[in-house]
A = this chain, B = another copy of it.
Amino acid sequence: METITVKAQSAEREEKMKYCFGVDVGGTTVKLGIFNTNGDLLEKWEIPTVTEDNGKQILPDVAASILDKMKERDILREEVEGVGIGAPGPIDSEGTVYGAVNLGWGTFSVKNELQSLLNIRVEAGNDANVAALGEMWKGGGQGYDNLVAVTLGTGVGGGIIVEGKILAGANGAGGEIGHIHVEDKEVEPCNCGNCGCLEQYTSATGVVRLTKRRLQSSDMPSILRDRDITAKDVWDAVKAGDPLAVQVAEEFGQYLGKTLASIAGVVNPEIFVIGGGVSKAGSVLLDYIQKNYIKYVFRGSRGALFALATLGNDAGIYGAAKLVLE
């Protein structure tokens, strides 16, 4: 009997060994999550991002919040596998950030700095790349380990997962697909300074821009005329069969489908996972992307699947947690 009791205690201890934290640093808030190592999110919370003084306070705040949570839950350092963190800037596979404008950060090792604050193992990655890892692990790309995630939000972000790992690139700029050049005729500059980036046509603002141009250049009747419009309005109009909106959807699908075909020519993924605000339009969006993708893609990648992201704003904390579980 005694042996059995000892075993049970040891098993319980073993059970307790398995926590990890996922941290997603944004421009205004930091999202944090505590997970067990099966990938169950046990609790999530947020703290404000203090960007003053070149974002000097961000990592100490993150560390303090994690240590508080460990105290609150009576978790020992030895019971934590690690802390993963994603942030909006180029971060290489070693955890070095090469400047993060929105946070005020320059170049330094996020991994080493947070690690020395916590005395717990840390891994770091770019936020879009980390979100891609999250969607692979527990989201729309579950079951696949060669994946391209596309985030259609205010901008267009991307994350490439190759054999289960983030493709961070030489200096953390891997998966920066929003700034792939897609249109020679563009005259308005993108935020990045170039002209004709994918982001200018397929982000939320890009979709509105395509619509306004079309409203101006044609007199086709449309429920989108003479009002303020959002990307959601445009996709609602597509679903309602509005002919001008359908033209916009075609144009959107062509830009994005063609670009994803090019990306497939490089990385040959099993699946594309489409997320971000624009993706709330649902499967109609995938139809427009996929039919254009098929037109342009090389046969080796013709079978790639298309899915919607499912984790929403939690993709970042999931992916960050996964960083330390690889």
Contacts and interface: CB of A to CB of B under 8 A. Distances in A.
Interface of A: 90, 93, 98, 146, 158, 160, 162-163, 167-177, 179-181, 192-194, 197, 258-259, 261-270, 296, 298-301, 303-304
Given A181-B258, A181-B262, A299-B192, A267 B167 contact: yes
Contacts of A262: 180-181, 259, 262
29 contacts: A93-B163, A146-B169, A146-B170, A160-B267, A162-B162, A168-B268, A169-B300, A169-B301, A170-B269, A170-B304, A171-B303, A172-B268, A173-B264, A173-B265, A173-B268, A173-B300, A174-B266, A174-B267, A176-B298, A177-B266, A179-B298, A181-B258, A181-B261, A181-B296, A192-B299, A194-B296, A194-B298, A263-B266, A266-B266
A150 to B, nearest CB: 12
Contacts of A169: 146, 267-269, 300-301
Given A170-B301, A194-B296, 17 more contacts: A93-B163, A158-B266, A167-B167, A167-B267, A169-B269, A169-B301, A170-B268, A173-B301, A174-B266, A174-B268, A175-B268, A176-B265, A176-B298, A177-B265, A177-B266, A181-B296, A192-B298
A171 B258 CA distance: 20
A266 B301 contact: no
B267 A267 contact: yes
Contacts of A303: 171
Given A181-B258, A261-B181, A262-B262, A268 B171 contact: yes
A174 B266 CA distance: 5
Nearest to A179: B298
A236 B163 CA distance: 44
Given A162-B167, A181-B262, A298 B173 contact: yes
Given A180-B262, A181-B258, A262-B262, A170 B299 contact: no
Best-surrounded residue of A197, A265, A267, A300 (most CB of chain B within 10 A): A265
Nearest to A259: B262
A98 B301 CA distance: 12
Contacts of A181: 258, 261-262, 296
Nearest to A301: B173
Contacts of A300: 90, 98, 169, 171-173, 176
